Amino acid sequence: MSNQESQKQEKIVSMFDDIAPTYDTANRVMSMGVDKSWRRKACDLAYEFYGKDSIDKIVDVACGTGDMMDFWRRRAEKASIKVDEIVGVDPSVGMVDVAREKYPKFSYHISKATEIPLQDTSADFLSITYGIRNVVEREEALKEFNRVLKKDGMVVILEFMKNENPSSLGKVRDFYMNKILPKVGGAISKNLEAYEYLPNSIGDFATVRQMQNELESAGFEMLYTKSFSMDISTLLIARKK
């Protein structure tokens, strides 16, 4: 990683440290709770594709305040799937501190997505929800995901993707993301810059097709891709070859 990339990554982590105390409240208000349905869909489909009723380890990278980890747990219980361990990985101490308080039974590591402190082929699932666009060295991270996963293990990504050819509804989405969301998030967090970063980071991010290509280049086979709610959020599920 170049010095410029390192500084950019450090700035992103510092930003999340700053907004950690208000992060959950801002997310619920801005998404109007609809993100819960996206997370449920991601977990349910991934479990269905994997087709096993006993799982050793699920790793949630960029785990933030831990909500996706709890979705993995609750959806497994609903499907009568036994999960031995759920592990959260995030470089933001502030975010993980909130997660530990909310979900003390999970395991946590303060670490970047490119340096996951877990053994090779040790995880059945690896998820990253609304975090991959914040990883400066994305291709390196995808290779790291592949290293950590068992053969046939699943990588599950939920993300705000760049809208390459916006429809009329897509333009409505872009207006909300660019004009309204930053003001709402900024008012709740008292950090307008952090929530102005969100639409900017989406504009600088990959399209769905680019993300699929990057996953395939990193050694994954695409199983499922779908965008939800005026293409605001996209779910990608891939299997390690």
Structure tokens at 158: 């939920």
Q: Kind of pairing, strands 54-61 and 123-129?
A: parallel
CA 33/CA 172 separation, integer angstroms: 19
Cβ atoms of 136 and 8 closer than 8 Å? yes
3-state helix, strand, coil in the chain (%, to 5): 50, 25, 25
> What's residue 166's pLDDT?
59
Give me the tens of pLDDT residue by residue for the chain, a chain 241 residues long: 677 777 888 888 887 778 777 777 777 666 667 888 999 999 999 999 999 999 999 999 999 999 999 999 999 999 999 999 999 999 999 999 999 999 999 999 999 999 999 999 999 999 999 899 989 999 999 999 999 999 999 999 999 887 666 566 666 666 766 667 667 777 777 777 767 766 677 777 888 999 999 999 999 999 999 988 667 789 999 999 9
Q: What is the pTM of this model?
A: 0.88
> What's residue 15's pLDDT?
79
CA 190/CA 228 separation, integer angstroms: 29
Judged by DSSP in three states, 89 sits in strand
> What's residue 70's pLDDT?
97
Instruction: Select from 3.40.50.150, 3.30.70.580, 3.10.290.10, 3.40.50.620 the CATH code of 3-240.
Output: 3.40.50.150
Q: Give, in order, the Cα–Cα distances in Å from 221 to each of 97, 145, 236.
A: 35, 13, 11
Cβ atoms of 99 and 88 closer than 8 Å? yes
Parse the chain into domains and list their residue ranges: 3-240
